[in-house]
Amino acid sequence: MEKKKDKGVSVKTRRVIAYVVLVLVTILCLFWFYVLFINATRSNSELKHGFTMIPSSHLGENLHNIIHSSNLPIVSGLINSLLVAGLTAFLCTYFSTMTAFAIHAYDFKLKKVMFTFILAVMMIPTQVTALGFLNLIRKMELMDSFIPLIVPSIASPVVFFYLKQSMEATLPMELLEAARIDGAGEFRIFNTVALPLMKPAIAVQAIFAFVSSWNNYFTPALVLKSDNKKTLPILIATLRSADFLKFDMGQVYMFIAMSILPVIVVYLILGKNIVGGMTAGAVKG
């Protein structure tokens, strides 16, 4: 009995310690967002006096100055980022799921070779292929266009690999065979059987793809030249590199806060699927 009591106390102690650590880590992670939104309510002169935990009264002023800025097209930049990131997340997850379905559901020659090749592509950094990529889109006359930022996202080896592993755990071949016996076509099986079962994993990768595209500065900076086509990371960098005498930190914090809000909204909408997507297939009946 004493051993059982000691074991019970030990489990409770570990649980309390785990909760305390998780709370501290959560506070530490959220604190910097709090700092950002507090600084977005302060003026440039107030920010020079150091940090304070109390919001100021310049939120509307900073927002008005950012939206009506004559130097930076903030509204169009927000729309551009939403367009590029949204289409990237959709195309990336849909076609990566389709590729993973093809590798998982069918047996054909060179299947292992193709799978290995896709994983090998995953190891190549974007910067290595940047010069050839730019030469290609120049020849195709796609410079200063959103197409080079959206279409290449269809081929995402990282997303494919994650969805392929999730599919092996959550999509039994027996279910696909039953659908075929019922007379369903392959495309219908993919859209009505595979996609619903893969929804948690797809939601996780959609979040990652959206955030990655939303924060991407390298490729848009190389491709986009017109001010009305630039995305938010480029505009933030432009605002940050402005003349020091005209530099308004309140506007910078407000701009960054505006750029983070859509990511938070996407996370709140799809975030409930993260745990389900990470643990899918962990317990199999």
Encode the chain (285 residues) as per-residue pLDDT tens digits: 555 555 555 778 888 898 999 999 999 988 888 888 898 888 888 888 877 888 888 888 888 888 877 677 888 888 999 999 999 999 999 999 999 998 888 888 888 888 888 888 888 887 788 888 889 999 998 898 999 999 988 888 889 988 888 888 888 888 888 888 888 888 888 888 888 888 888 888 888 899 889 988 888 988 998 888 889 888 888 776 665 556 678 888 888 888 888 888 888 877 666 665 555 544 444
64-279: what fold?
Answer: MetI-like fold (1.10.3720)
Asked if 51 and 35 count as a contact pair (C-beta separation under 8 A), the reply is yes
The encoded tokens of residue 102 equal: 């093809």
pTM (two decimals)? 0.80
Residue 162 one-letter amino acid: Y
Asked if 188 and 176 count as a contact pair (C-beta separation under 8 A), the reply is no
The encoded tokens of residue 99 equal: 């590729």
Asked if 171 and 194 count as a contact pair (C-beta separation under 8 A), the reply is yes
